[in-house]
Amino acid sequence: MTSMLDLIHELWFLKRDIVSDGFDQALYRLAEEVPMTLHEVPSGEPCWTWRVPEKWTCHAAYLETLDGRRLLDYADHPLHVVSYSLPFDGEVTREELLRHLHVHPRLPEAIPFVFKYYERDWGLCVSQTLRDGLKDEAYRVVIRTTFEPGSLKVGEVVIPGQSDQAFVVVAHLCHPAMVNDDLSGVVVALEVARALGKHAGPPLQYTYRFLILPETIGSVAYLSRHEELIPKMAGGLFLEMLGNDSPHALQGSFQPDSQPDRCFNAALRSLDPQGYAGPYRTIIDNDERQFNAPGVRVPMLSLSRVQAPKASGLPPYPQYHSSLDTPEIVTQERLEASRDVVLGLIQAWERNQYVVNNFKGEIFCSGYGIWIDYRLNPEGHRRLFEIMERCDGSRTVADIAAELELSFQAAWEVVSLLEEKGLVSFSWIPV
């Protein structure tokens, strides 16, 4: 069993463009680690309003001075060529070259990640420093790319539960030669799948579907090919950017009062006390958009390590979408911490039932050995009673925690104690 960080080292530099041999190679390797079903959709197939792109390959690319001095080479770094660039071969004036030369907006030494899946253009990516040094009148550009029929691939790991109601975990794999965005989310997702697959304790209530796919078009392809599953998706979580040095940021779904939203917001409080939460679309933009969208409307949240919400004007992390997003900036320890946060969220989700009182009036706490003396522990006493009085069959554990601004776990502690004593029962529907 390969560690998350070792998998990253093995796969990160692959040319994992959305439909490409590099993507397939990475996915096959992951499938060796965690057995998965591979779904394929051929190039050109319509998926709702979309169409699956052709397979793209860059065979070689370079920029040279007219006297043959090579300034950059795709062989050195996959980011040097715009993903899905058209082929090009010829001399161009400096002026024209600059129109096709992309640099990073903040990092002068980094090669930026640029993609033009649907724009039909050619382009190269270089450091600001390299571009600033271009003084000649003309240059020679060679980009040898091909577009050919292929197939988009989605890897799916299913961990069955008691119910066919599903919870969906999604990560994308299509960011070539980068690590935190997006490989970190993929390896955490698969570690979580592995842990759930062999977890001890009560059997899982929900069926879990882990999807590893190319961003956006992968989600659209999967959903459009499995419309019958959508009504059974009770919630979801998108994972990405989980190895860098920031607290966990939980982005809400399009439906902020949904049970997954309430449950995860309350659970994160104790899973990462430094963590924070923000509404839909205020932290990141990814596949959760396809699941939250009209006609799907699965409440999917997103978990990532992001230094500050978008409104701050800051990037999610300094090396975002650049050649500096390397294994250097992620650690096994942080990946494991994120895996544990996800497992903690799922544990809360599994426990998040309606709490039905088997009692009337207040419980005789002394008689059940659950009395907390208000003179010794006024906070604990108050919390015990505030939770107890909300156990009425109309509120889930998450509803109670949200109402009291408690962590899910603090509410669960009391509620599960009451359940042990036979004072409450759990129900998947309000009673």
Residue numbers at the binding site for a copy of itself (CB under 8 A): 48-51, 117-119, 216, 219-220, 223-224, 227, 254, 281, 289-290, 292-297, 357, 359-364, 366-368, 371, 382, 385-386, 388-393, 423
CB of 241 to a copy of itself, least distance (A): 18
Q: Phi/psi of residue 134, each to 5°? A: -80, 105
Query: Shortest distance, CB of residue 289 to a copy of itself, whole angstroms?
Result: 6
First to last CA, the chain: 45
Considering the complex, state which of residue 171 and residue 223 has its C-beta at the smaller distance from a copy of itself.
Answer: 223
| Nearest C-alpha neighbor of 181 from the set 282, 113, 117 | 113
Q: In this complex, which beta carbon is closest to a copy of itself, that of residue 202 or of residue 295?
A: 295
H helix intervals, 214-362: 217-225, 259-271, 288-292, 332-351
Euclidean distance between CA atoms 77 and 75, whole angstroms: 6
Cβ proximity to a copy of itself, 183 vs 283, nearer residue: 283
DSSP structural state of residue 115:
B
Report the residue number, 276 or 359, with the smaller CB distance to a copy of itself.
Answer: 359
Nearer to a copy of itself, 142 or 404 (CB): 404
CB of 227 to a copy of itself, least distance (A): 8
Give the position of tokens 């560690």.
3
Q: Give 216 or 409: the residue with its C-beta nearer to a copy of itself.
A: 216
The three-state secondary structure class of 419 is helix
- Residue 62: C-alpha distances to residues 80, 111, 147 (Å): 8, 14, 19
Q: Minimum Å distance from CB 245 to a copy of itself?
A: 26
Nearest approach in angstroms of CB 113 to a copy of itself is 13
**Closer residue to a copy of itself, CB minimum distance, 212 or 388:** 388
Tell how far CA 104 is from the center of its chain.
23
User: To 10 degrees, the CA torsion angle through 154, 293, 149, 151?
Assistant: 10
In the complex, least distance from residue 365 CB atom to a copy of itself, rounded to whole angstroms: 9
Helix axes 397-404 and 408-420, enclosed angle (nearest 10): 130
CA distance linking residue 388 with residue 382, whole number of Å: 10
In sequence order, the β-bridge partners of residue 62 are 73, 142
Shortest distance in whole angstroms from residue 58 CB to a copy of itself: 21
